[in-house]
Amino acid sequence: MRVLLVGLSHRTAPLEVRERFAVAEPGPLLQKLVATDEIDEAVLVSTCNRVEVVVLTRRLDAARLRLRSVFRHELGGDDLPASAGGRRLEEMLYELHDAGAMTHVLRVASSIDSMVVGEPQILGQMKDAYHAAREAGACGAILTRLFHCAFATARRVRRETKIAQRPVSVARVAVGLARQIFEDLSQKSVLLVGAGEMIEIALEALHQDGLAAVRVANRTRAHAMELAERFDATAHGLDEIPALLARSDMVLSCIGGDTPVITAALVRTALRERSTPLFVIDIGVPRNVDPAVNDLDGVYLYDLDDLTEAAASNAEERRRETIRAEAIVLEEQQRFDGWLAALGAVPTIRDLKGRAEQIRAAEVEKAVGRLGLDPAQRDGVDALTRAIVNKLLHAPVSRLRGQADREEGFARLEVVRALFGLDDRPTDDDE
């Protein structure tokens, strides 16, 4: 049994190509694949960053051709968009088998291979892919075990490393800082200065934790109202900022203009009317908030550079954590491989025991006829020979069942089959 993986991902193909190959309903395709002679089990993982098919096969070359044909004819095709830069599909597809394929599945589930290392969505997407394959009847015992191993590995990686602990987007960094200042964000109010796209992205991140009140102040009140309607907020003009500052716990600013919209004097005045900290996020370029604001007691100002630097530092930390994550993946992959190798040894063990029993029974029969043994003596000889055969076979059978790595496991099986002539036709002597 061989595990084969064919696919393309953010590492090999641009988004325009990946989205062409995305599969919303993998069931019919998987059923078609397992109906072929060369594929026994199949799972299709389709996310915005990758489209990969994992199969279990007895005929590796045939399965490889079949999967490439699926990508070419049944998914996106070979007619790639201009963004592919003239590259052909063949150049974007990668192929992994056996240990390489298993490791890849475990790495993907653990989010080591993700565009944003440590992102949590991939595990859910892998689970969805696995369940879709199960429902389609395309996922049997071995891929089930592989995917469960992948899920367990991902959980271990999350538990034992810091791969997913630190935020790597500017918006999530800002939320993390807000949590260092405030105990419960759902009780806090935010003042948005500006109504552009950046404000919206940052607000969405803040809104995930819930906010007590959102106020949008903008030069053009109509734009403020547009954003306010979407987030159940109130719209204001820039002239209302002094009053709004006193009533807000967080300020998020990204508005055009050459001079700061929020000055230190303005914040100092607002502080007289409040007793709680004020967190100011200035993502405007040029900056909207006077840097001197950070010197005021109880006010914490972060600009775009501060947030970007923190995000980059966290991303670097995550990358460092992947070394520990890779070690966990390798350990789990070897465990799974050992299980698979042991599974592959079952027919050989059965044949070996059958062969030994056949020889033992034939020799006992001959001896009984030659020596003229009574039933009690015959039982004694029978038990004696059975014990000898069992003891002789104990060590080789244990070795075959052992958690050997895949290559070694296959080599052992070949040697045993050749040494004991398990693939030879029975001769007259055996009869």
Partner 1 sequence: MTTELLLVAAGLYLAAGLASWMGIALESARSLRAAVVMLAAGAAAHAGAFVGLHLAPRPPPLTDLPAAVSLMALIAVLFVLVLLRRARLAALVALVAPASFVGTFFAALRLPHSEAVPLVGAASSWPHLHILLASTGLALLGVAGVAGCLFLVVDRGLKRHRRVRPRWPSLEALDRVNRVALTAGFLLLTLGVVTGVLWVESESDRIWTGTAHETWSVLAWMVYAALVTARFAGRQRGRRAAVAAIAGFAFLFFAVIGVSLLA
Q: Give residues in contact with partner 1 (CB under 8 A).
A: 162, 165-166, 176-177, 179-183, 275-277, 294, 297-298, 300, 302, 306, 309-310, 313
CB of residue 308 to partner 1, shortest distance in Å: 12
Tell me the β-bridge partners of 281. Answer: 252, 302
Integer Cα distance of 312 and 356 in angstroms: 65
**Residue positions annotated with a catalytic role:** 48
CB of residue 277 to partner 1, shortest distance in Å: 6
CB of residue 301 to partner 1, shortest distance in Å: 9
Integer Cα distance of 57 and 1 in angstroms: 6
What does the DSSP 8-state code read for residue 303? E
Tell me the β-bridge partners of 54. Answer: 5, 43
Integer Cα distance of 280 and 421 in angstroms: 79
DSSP string, 186-252: GG-EEEEE--SHHHHHHHHHHHTT--SEEEEEESSHHHHHHHHHHTT-EEEEGGGHHHHHHH-SEEE
Tell me the β-bridge partners of 218. Answer: 237
CB of residue 10 to partner 1, shortest distance in Å: 28
The Cβ of residue 334 has, within 10 Å, a number of other Cβ atoms equal to 16
Residue 420 backbone dihedrals phi, psi, to 5 degrees: -95, 5
* Beta carbon nearer to partner 1, 175 or 224: 175
Integer Cα distance of 181 and 174 in angstroms: 11
* Beta carbon nearer to partner 1, 242 or 277: 277
CB of residue 327 to partner 1, shortest distance in Å: 18
Integer Cα distance of 231 and 46 in angstroms: 32
Integer Cα distance of 216 and 335 in angstroms: 55
Integer Cα distance of 191 and 228 in angstroms: 11
CB of residue 47 to partner 1, shortest distance in Å: 28
What does the DSSP 8-state code read for residue 84? G
Of 5, 347, 342, 24, nearest in space to 143 by CA: 5
* Beta carbon nearer to partner 1, 146 or 175: 175
CB of residue 303 to partner 1, shortest distance in Å: 9
* Beta carbon nearer to partner 1, 69 or 313: 313
The Cβ of residue 372 has, within 10 Å, a number of other Cβ atoms equal to 7
* Beta carbon nearer to partner 1, 309 or 331: 309
Integer Cα distance of 331 and 144 in angstroms: 19
Residue type, 18: R
- Spell out a b/e string for 248-263, using b for 16 or more CB atoms within 10 Å of the CB, else e: bbbbbbbbeeeebbbe
* Beta carbon nearer to partner 1, 309 or 365: 309
CA 427 to chain centroid? 53
CA 287 to chain centroid? 38
Structure token pair of residue 61? 């070359």
* Beta carbon nearer to partner 1, 171 or 356: 171
* Beta carbon nearer to partner 1, 275 or 427: 275
CB of residue 31 to partner 1, shortest distance in Å: 44
